[in-house]
Amino acid sequence: MAVSQTTLNRIKAAPISSVIEATGAALKRIGREYLTQCIWHEDKNPSLTVSDDKGFCYCHVCRKGGDSVDYIGQRLGLGWRDALQKTADLLSITVELVDEDPLAAARRRAEIDSARAALEADHQVFRANLKDPRAGRIRQILKDRGLTAEASKEFELGYSSQGFFSGRITVPIHDHHGKLVGFTGRATKEMPGKYKNSKDSALFNKKMLVFNEHRAKEAAHETESLIFVEGHLDVVSMWQAGIKNVVAAQGTGAPDPLVIQRLSRNLKTFILCFDGDAGGVKATEQFISVAGRLALEGKININVVTLPEGSDPDDMIRKGEDLRGLIANAPCWLDWLIDTWAASLSLDDAAAITDVEGKLKDLINGLSSKALRTHYIDKASRVLSSNDKEAAKLAKEWVSSAPVVRVKGWEPMTAWEARLRAEKRLVRLFVHRPELRQRLLPVMRQVQSPAIKWLWERLKELREVCDSDLTPHSAMAVVCVAEPHFMQQLRTIVQPTVHIDDSEGVLANLEDILERAVSFPANEPDPDQLLEGRDCRTVPGDGIVPGDSQQALF
């Protein structure tokens, strides 16, 4: 069974920085990229560059690197297939398997290559068509829309006179690396479907694509915001007007949550600027249903522009309206939702009020910031009540009944994860603090992890002749001959640079953990690799740190 192309594409579309961060590694932002400790060599200063744009990490010292699966494979000592599974788990992606023999797989790769070549060929034809003297009417349409020759050239617009996109202006669609993957055809006369997309294929997957992402990312990073509009030609005319941090969802509905997650790594605010009609409201609600979770957790802001009834961004620019002002002053999505729902609410309709109240409670109770929660409970209560007294009562009841928000994405350590950590710390102390060895000896006999047990046997051999033979240096030599899977786990124990806390509280705590009976599950990958650095992770929101107090020691 082979891993499906869809699964591979989904993993590729996800931000590699999230994957690396999920393993507990600390990432330092440098412009649009990150720096972290290299895992391919003993790295004292972070030298691994991580780029979400390229979906790749690379070490400038040892010249190794790879994609997220390569990283996980190296970090956890896993083969490609297991590393892929682990990466998919970290991203909550289900791995789809397809029954495919090697011949069929080779055929499929050849098909992808020929599809790319065909796209390039079509692209050249479409471009030439638009320049053809017979395409005067089409060029006039673009001119009437106010599109400059410069914009047409930048976006490589074309025209298709026959075939799948017959009678349509063609807009090339690129993936986030800037590779051509398909087209959108814009109708030039009355015909069914204003926009028509290339058919979904191994190359073209609407949900995973955002039109203009590769051009907009520089400006989005500078302004820390990205504007979403509905139409591809709206993107072009805004770009022409100097608003360059702008993209369009490919097809109706919001992009895949993974795409939203990737985009949110490099900016703070999404600004939704959809058409001023029922379709625009629906598109806004769809986007919020996908991205709202990140906003509730305080990871991103979503602001919503309301355009005048019947207008799209292109109309606004052509009429000389203050689109920039509307964008700059767009309210937060929760204000927009409360106002939108309130506008359609009749205070005589008890059933409708209960319905809206339920929806608002679900949303507002999920806010991780207490201050924001109080603010919105107050606002929503006023909308749902007919007078101030009633509103105050509702708000008071709401606050007292709202559940405490737990920060998501953080799982407390299991008992055996805690134990493995303790065992590692114990050996570390044993190696680096000879004066503690007598005290630690009885506890050392209780280690259970196969890697640590193996190391302990070797360390005992070293000490057989003379205790002073056991030094961090000699322990390092032992670790160097361990099999790769053990070496990966043991490396951090003997590193001379590692910080060692040998205070009384830590020792007592280690002894306590080691005395508890916990059995190691068989065939588990080493969770410690995933836990490294967890202690220094900041907790967003109200700062509620889950887990019990003993974990603070790790």
Q: How far is the CB of 39 from Zn ion (least distance, A)?
A: 8
- Amino acid of residue 428: R
Q: Which is nearer to Zn ion, 64 or 463 (CB)?
A: 64
Radius of gyration of the chain, Cα coordinates, nearest whole angstrom: 29
Provide the token pair at 459.
């360390």
Q: How far is the CB of 44 from Zn ion (least distance, A)?
A: 11
Cβ-contact 269, 303 below 8 angstroms: yes
Nearest-5° angle of CA 408, CA 409, CA 412?
Answer: 95
Q: How far is the CB of 67 from Zn ion (least distance, A)?
A: 16
Q: Which is nearer to Zn ion, 61 or 415 (CB)?
A: 61
Q: Which is nearer to Zn ion, 71 or 204 (CB)?
A: 71
Closest CA to 173 of 129, 121, 213: 213
Residue 158 in 3-state DSSP?
A: strand
Q: How far is the CB of 34 from Zn ion (least distance, A)?
A: 15
468: number of Cβ within 10 Å: 10
Q: Which is nearer to Zn ion, 41 or 116 (CB)?
A: 41
DSSP letter, residue 332: B
Q: How far is the CB of 526 from Zn ion (least distance, A)?
A: 20
Provide the token pair at 259.
């795409």
Binding site for Zn ion (CB under 5 A): 38, 40-41, 59, 61-62
Q: How far is the CB of 489 from Zn ion (least distance, A)?
A: 19
Cβ-contact 500, 428 below 8 angstroms: yes
The count of residues in the chain is 554
Q: Which is nearer to Zn ion, 41 or 375 (CB)?
A: 41
Q: How far is the CB of 36 from Zn ion (least distance, A)?
A: 11
Q: Which is nearer to Zn ion, 40 or 554 (CB)?
A: 40
Cβ-contact 7, 202 below 8 angstroms: no
Provide the token pair at 426.
């114990």
Q: Which is nearer to Zn ion, 40 or 159 (CB)?
A: 40
Q: How far is the CB of 42 from Zn ion (least distance, A)?
A: 9
Element (H, E) at 169: strand 168-174
First vs last C-alpha separation in the chain? 40
Q: Which is nearer to Zn ion, 38 or 151 (CB)?
A: 38
- What Å distances lie between residue 27 and 22, 31, 415, CA to CA? 10, 12, 27
Q: Measured between alpha carbons, how far is 480 from 64 in angstroms, rounded to an integer?
A: 20
Q: Measured between alpha carbons, how far is 368 from 299 in angstroms, rounded to an integer?
A: 10
Q: Which is nearer to Zn ion, 59 or 216 (CB)?
A: 59
Q: How far is the CB of 65 from Zn ion (least distance, A)?
A: 8
Provide the token pair at 187.
């109708």
